[in-house]
Amino acid sequence: MYYALFRWFPKSGLTRLAGWLADVRWPRGLLAAFIRGYIRRYGIDMSQYAAPPGGYETFNAFFTRGLLPGARPLAREPGALLSPVDGRVSEAGRIESGRLVQAKGIRYGLADLLAGDPEWPRYDGGGFATLYLHPRDYHRIHAPCAGLVTRFRYVPGELWTVSPAGVARVPGLFARNERWITFLRTAFGEVALVKVGATIVGRIRVVYHDGVGHARGARPLAESLAAPPRLEAGAELGRFELGSTVILLTRPGEAEWLPLKAGDAVRMGERIGRMVAKDERANSSTLIHGNA
């Protein structure tokens, strides 16, 4: 019923309208009142952010607000795999036979999620964590470890809601929705960070390219970067202009994950695993906890 009801819902049009409204410079008093209401509605602690509720010129500027220095300390353990966002774990586990868990009873294809990237088979047998960003959360996305952005793919797609109701009822949702995929080459191997668009998610931006997700007339992109930019662990990688979901992927043997499970809260910069050095792999298996 859910799928049938929302299949023909004008998700793209509504999302463009929301993005436009979020960029409008409303009268300052009206905007400040709306932001204060939003803060109360979602219980946002503004003491950790760089600007007060009245310090934003648009709602989008508030939604993508920056943190105060030190508000998200980075885990300092050698080789730490960091949470790239604030959010909650939707699912976490092992990629098995080229498929990931979307929700209980629903699996979807790794090749579809990575939009047919030629290197997708190398992630089969690795680990993943799907992280949902609530409207109250900080909405910038950060590098989970230090590395070079070697290539990326942008996939225009559908805009199903990534709320728990949508995830539980729409088959292959994450591989159908719009997404921007970043591949980060590290000293330990490679990680992929999939940023998934959704209803009301106006745009996805990244720091290494001037393309904008869900821009009018957007076309698929698949590019290797001749001069790969380096990002340090915890450096800003991109942002959602109105929120969504991030899926972090690691390849077999290259990471040991902490025991993440559905419903766990994570904060950007905290350790969710450890990257495994090449000389350790002969005596270490990839540890993936959670639902597989």
- Is 137 catalytic? The answer is no
**Catalytic site residue from 90, 117, 137, 244:** 244
Q: What would the two tokens of residue 256 be?
A: 């040991």
R_g over Cα of the chain: 19
**Catalytic site residue from 83, 86, 139, 214:** 86
Please answer whether residues 258 and 83 qualify as being in contact, where contact means their C-beta atoms are separated by less than 8 angstroms.
no
91 phi, psi to nearest 5 deg: -150, 155
User: DSSP secondary structure string, 175-214?
Assistant: HHB-EEEEEEE-SS-EEEEEEE--TT--EEEETTEEEETT
- Is 209 catalytic? The answer is no
Q: Is the dihedral of CA 161, 165, 171, 172 positive or negative?
A: positive
- Is 289 catalytic? The answer is no
Q: C-alpha angle 120/188/245, rounded to 5°? A: 50
In single-letter form, the type of residue at position 87 comes to G
**Catalytic site residue from 117, 139, 142, 214:** 142
List the catalytic residues.
86, 142, 244
